Amino acid sequence: MPKPILEQLAEGPVLGDGGYVYILKQRGVPMEGYTPYAIFTHADAIRQLHQEFFDAGAEVIQAQTFQGTRNRLEQIGMAEHYVEIHQRAVALAQEVAGNQALVAGSVGSAVGSKGLAQAGLTLDDARGLYQEECNLLADFGVDFLIVETFMWMDDMLVALEAAKATELPVMFTASFKEKETTDDNVSLGECARKLKAAGADVVGINCMREPSRMLPLMRWMREAVEGPMAMQPIGFRCWPDYTHLHGVRDWPKRVLAPTHMADYAREAAAIGVNYIGCCCGSGPEHLRAMAKVLSKTSRQ
Ligand SMILES: [Zn+2]
């Protein structure tokens, strides 16, 4: 079995996997309910993409449970399959990872960029939703949790509290759109310090921005906190036509070259990013190029 995530991160950069939602959508998988819905309807397509990332050299396979809190599944009429969706998603990732890669459970925000108050959820409501999901992922045997794409500080802290309660290692990555603050106006440095102080084992940034717009933020974060950091940028160019990925319709025309993602991986490692992966719109070819510069062996 691979070493536990925190041990691996202490020894050198760990290569994550790529983004699922955009690539699967491009392959014709409906994504209205994100990947938890597709786990039910298109498990083979998800398995195939897990396999392609694994073959490219991914050292972590993310179970496709993002947007899988109970309220999210209620919104798409899938709440009755809540347990089964998580079970299937973790089993699928474990099947591909075998004894050669770690499996992370992905936990996304219950409310996204709306924020808890606007979505009509109290902190206790949110904490309950996250606790239920984190416990379930832990029960199904994920190796660690990736809590990701959070934009509001209060939402982050309750999710982190729930994740920490499982006693699994927790990687927490916030998302920054055009501003260099959370949506509730906490500066990036302060956000990282708060997450660290609240017990996140790994802190970082994912989604919304391409590498060139995320690397400066990672340098800032490196100055703000010590310990392992994670980075998962998107795989296509937004700036300067768009401030971030929301609203980009012509993304396949904007996909970054694999060499661009390789340059990103090299630069991220140089500034001390320990977990190097990618998010929306990044596929197996990106990962393969990144594996090469990080001296990871592609498996096929
Ligand atoms: Zn993303």
Residue 110 and residue 114: Cα distance in Å, rounded?
10
- Burial class from Cβ neighbours inside 10 Å (0-12, 13-18, 19+) for residue 69 reads buried
- Going from the N-terminus, what domains does the chain have, and what CATH number goes with each? 5-293 (3.20.20.330)
Residue 60 and residue 2: Cα distance in Å, rounded?
10
Distance 151 CA to ligand 1 centre (A): 13
The end-to-end CA distance of the chain, in Å, is 19
Distance 281 CA to ligand 1 centre (A): 8
Q: List phi, psi (to 5°) of 174.
A: -90, 165
Residue 300 and residue 279: Cα distance in Å, rounded?
22
Residue-level pLDDT at 299 = 85
Element (H or E) spanning 192, and its range? helix 188-197
Distance 216 CA to ligand 1 centre (A): 18
Distance 108 CA to ligand 1 centre (A): 11
Helix then strand count (H, E) for the chain reads: 13, 8
Residues with CB under 5 A from ligand 1 (ion): 207, 279-280
Give mean pLDDT in consecutive 10-residue pieces for the chain, a chain of 300 residues. Answer: 97 97 95 89 97 98 97 95 97 98 98 94 98 98 98 98 98 97 97 98 98 98 98 97 93 97 98 98 98 89
